Structure 1
Amino acid sequence: MKKIKYLLLAIVAVIAVFSCNQKSDSETILTGTATILVDETILPVIEDQVLVFENQYEAKIQLVPKSESEIVKLLSEGKNDLAILTRELTKGEAAYFENKKIKARITPIATDGVAFIANKASEGTQIDLNDVVATLQGKSSKYAGLVFDNANSSTVKYFKDLAKVKELPKEKIFSFKTNNEVIDFVSKNNGMIGVVGVNWIMQPMPDFQKTVDNVSVLDVKTNNGTFAKPTQEDIATNLYPVIRQIKMLNYQGTRGLGMGFASFMGGEIGQRIILKSGLVPVRMPGRNLIIRKEVENKKDN
């Protein structure tokens, strides 16, 4: 009887070890599955990153686009441990992970610009941030309205901080759910000023290109009195005044797929994807890489 008992215990132990090994083998920095929260305002370029990454490695990444405030809440509650945002967590927001002795791995990915758009029929092609701030503070404004993607988005937070207001006024401020909804609304309404991530203008979906063609990207007045557009050159030289950093926040605490994907985005191929998207890479990639061809060859094989 004792022999049978010991035999059963031995079998259970072997199964446990085998199961642990299987779990370990199933996820490395380049294989396995991962769920990553991503700021909705920068979704297109991250989707491009995932497309190429999954074609190169035996990995599956699920992107979950949400507003910045939703992402921060999920992270602070420990419900997710991977996110791509335009800022880092504050000490209070990261308390859950600090209590577990998990230190964040922060990977800079790109510099992003926030674009102001107007209907093609609108008068003027320039905008002054002082007028934008006045509108956000509820003061008299020459604009029919400012249109944001989401009341809880990183873009809204950026401009609330800029205007030094805790709440936005009820008049002349509009918000939808996505950047595409903002672009569509502005394309149909003269006098409205839309506020969107540059990537949504630079890389629209093919069936949305006609809508994008019906809006103009406005020049923004700089600190020295000149005007600049959210081009790669003006963003890279800090001439364009409305920029922010895109970063991968990794709170896994292990050498998992999050680390591999972050390294990929910060590496040669990932930075070339950033360059092709119209954003500014954190380091300039080489010029001898053709991403689309690599993806197509991988698929053919």
Structure 2
Amino acid sequence: MHSFGLYDFSKNLNMKKIHFLLVVVVSALIIFSCNQKKDTDKKDTILTGSVSILVDETILPIIEDQVMVFENQYDAKIKLVGKSEMEIVKLLSEGKYDLAILTRSLSPGEAKVFDEKKIKPKETLLAMDAVAFIANKSDGDIKIDLNDISAFMQEKDQSKFAGLVFDNANSSTVAYMKKVAGVQQLPKEKIYSFNNNNEVIEFVSKNKGMIGVVGVNWISQPLPEFQSIVDKVSVLEVKAKNGNFVQPTQDQIGRQTYPATRVIKMLNYQGYSGLGMGFASFVAGEIGQRIILKSGLVPMRMPSRNIIVRKEIEKK
């Protein structure tokens, strides 16, 4: 009887081991299947699939050019969602999007939703941009000082201009100028805002004495059908730190002698190697930087130049 009892106990122990192993195997299979499902749920890889990217409206034209070339080279579809800076930050901070192209990074508070998911951002510098100031061509040769713009926005002296014209009250150009002027709110008088940069340019082209504030790319590379409107405005020279007055040319932006420059960057909160990473690498790479150079903006790194030296002069 004693030996039988030992046999029964050993049998139960073996059954428990088998049961434990079955639980481990089943759990592993469940975890594996969940991970597999998570991977298959992804709609994109580095160079394939589809993705949506929020884009600051003030730099939208140059990003549209990049997407057109990228989609022609790869089996990918990128939807650009043009919004004001404030709208983009709100959508990102709510976790509704995980890719954006802006002229600034998110603050710790704005990126909290991604911190909670343990997602570290990947930031890629794409180009150097500038805020341009425009006036009606019939106003003549106008040169401005950012101190005068600041005094206007501080409501200390509003005699120099008939008004300031912005694209959108929530735009990055407004945020930039508020920071320059050191103000929290825009003045209630002599400030005009519209929906986009083209509307600013058109308004200034029809109204003397106004100073428009736009992203330089909207002036340097306008849509063909809008060129005639752009031709009716002048890009103003702005007083630099050295006392000279300069325009937002590629040379002045690249040297940062133009006093209103900023950096365009890709913010990637995908948390995996997806299309956001592939597109950012493309724009920051050889082809993308050539597109930047051609647009009138400044590449973060200068594309290489191929020089062909011929040993003999062709005879005609």
TM-score range, shorter chain: 0.7 to 0.9
| Runs (4+) off by over 3 Å | 19-22
Kindly state the Cα deviation for residue 140 of structure 1 after the two structures are TM-superposed: 2.0
Match of 2:256 in 1: 238
Kindly state the Cα deviation for residue 287 of structure 1 after the two structures are TM-superposed: 3.0
**Counterpart residue type for residue 100 of structure 1:** K
Give the TM-score normalised by the residue count of structure 1: 0.88
Match of 1:59 in 2: 76
CA 1:95–1:22 in structure 2 vs 1: closer, same or farther (change >3 Å)?
A: closer
Give the TM-score normalised by the residue count of structure 2: 0.84
For the 8 Å contact 2:91–2:97, the answer to whether it is kept is yes
1:1-301 equivalence runs, <5 A: 20=37, 23=40, 27-141=44-158, 142-288=160-306
**Counterpart residue type for residue 78 of structure 2:** I
**For 1:275 and 1:56, how far apart are their aligned partners in 2?**
20
For the 8 Å contact 2:137–2:232, the answer to whether it is kept is yes
**For 1:24 and 1:85, how far apart are their aligned partners in 2?**
27
Q: What's the CA shift string for 1:165-218, capped at 9, x where partnerless?
A: 111111111110100000000000010000000100011111100000000000
Kindly state the Cα deviation for residue 123 of structure 1 after the two structures are TM-superposed: 3.3
For the 8 Å contact 1:135–1:172, the answer to whether it is kept is no
Q: What's the CA shift string for 1:17-66, capped at 9, x where partnerless?
A: 9x849837862100000000000000000000000000000000000000
**Counterpart residue type for residue 179 of structure 1:** N
**Counterpart residue type for residue 195 of structure 2:** K
**For 1:218 and 1:204, how far apart are their aligned partners in 2?**
17
**For 2:241 and 2:145, how far apart are their aligned partners in 1?**
10
Name structure 2 gaps, 5 residues minimum.
Answer: 1-29, 308-316
For the 8 Å contact 2:44–2:51, the answer to whether it is kept is no
Asked which structure has the greater CA Rg, the reply is 2
For the 8 Å contact 2:165–2:200, the answer to whether it is kept is yes
SS of residue in 2 equivalent to 1:121: helix
Matched length: 276
For the 8 Å contact 1:114–1:198, the answer to whether it is kept is yes
